[in-house]
Amino acid sequence: MQQSLQQALVDFHKEFARVTVPDDAVIFSCPAADVIKLGFEKRIPLVKLCPPQVSSDEFFNVFEQVCEIVIEFTPELAEDIDKIAATLPVEPEERMLFVSRAFTPGTSLITDVTPDYSTETFGFLINHTVKPFMLRYSQEVGKLYELEMWLKGDCPVCGGKPSLALLEKGTGKRQLYCGLCEIKWRFHRLGCPYCLDGESHFFTVEGMEKYRVYYCRKCHGYIKTLDQEKTDGKSVNLFWEDINTVHLDILAMREGYFNEQACQPLKDPEK
């Protein structure tokens, strides 16, 4: 079951990786140097300091592609997706506002009226529509901060929680990785990146000792971690490391721990 779920995730994301956006699909106004300095000192995510501006036409084009891919892999969601598509704005000004809100941290796109579709499905579609734009955005805006000095549990670009961590070979430094904008940043070697003051413990799985799953008994968060010392010198792609270790997410969640960014468009088949 776990193997089939992992393969389904790999196949889904291979297809999703084909969804790209033009170089100019995202623009932003670069702040002055003193504003960047202050933003870094106050640990303000760049998405709040210089928010991305995205074409509504490009956004909804990607949204349609994401819907098609999700229906291909999970056809039982087709009815929900049709309902979601029917509620989206059609007027240009409303579409522009919707897209702007999609890139505003902490903003809910669900209306005050209780929708007759799954909000989980809605959130999944929006997150995967936002992702290629945030990836393009982070490639440029991420250069504005000194990521080695961020030392915070939240992503310096989008403000999200990390989905994975890396223990660097040789130095043992811990880098956190954002699954949304794919930025890495330095964090303390010990401690929980979610509640910041909880003590982290970890477990490993026999035969997969290069991975650790750190968990916090205080906030019940967990984060998968790749020990680069045990990768035999091979280069690593943290995006695919995250996808290929979904069974570790399942193990952690079965023990009552959670990670908001766990890459699981499909449910644990044994739940």
Rounded Cα–Cα distance for residues 151 and 188 (Å): 6
Q: Which residue matches tokens 């949204």?
A: 63
pLDDT confidence of residue 265: 40
Query: How remote is the C-alpha of 228 from its chain's centroid?
Result: 21
Q: How far is the CA of 136 from the CAs of 27, 45, 116, 144, 163, in angstroms?
A: 9, 16, 33, 14, 19
Q: Walk along the chain (271 residues) in steps of 10 and give the mean pLDDT of each run.
A: 67 89 91 97 96 95 96 93 92 94 86 73 92 94 95 94 93 94 93 84 90 93 94 86 90 88 44 37
User: pTM here?
Assistant: 0.88
* pLDDT above 90: percentage of residues in the chain: 66
- What pLDDT shows up at residue 262? 62
For the segment 131-175, what is each residue's pLDDT rounded down to a tens digit?
999 999 999 999 999 999 999 999 999 999 999 999 999 898 999
pLDDT for the residue numbered 267: 36
Cβ-contact 175, 187 below 8 angstroms: yes
Q: What share of the chain is helix, strand, coil (3-state, %, to 5)?
A: 45, 15, 45
Q: Which pLDDT belongs to residue 271?
A: 37
pLDDT at 266: 36
Q: What was the pLDDT predicted at 114?
A: 61
Domain residue limits, the chain? 2-144, 147-254
Query: What is the DSSP secondary structure assignment for residue 181, as one 8-state letter?
Result: T
Q: Residue 260's pLDDT is what?
A: 72
Q: What is the CATH number of domain 147-254?
A: 3.90.1670.10
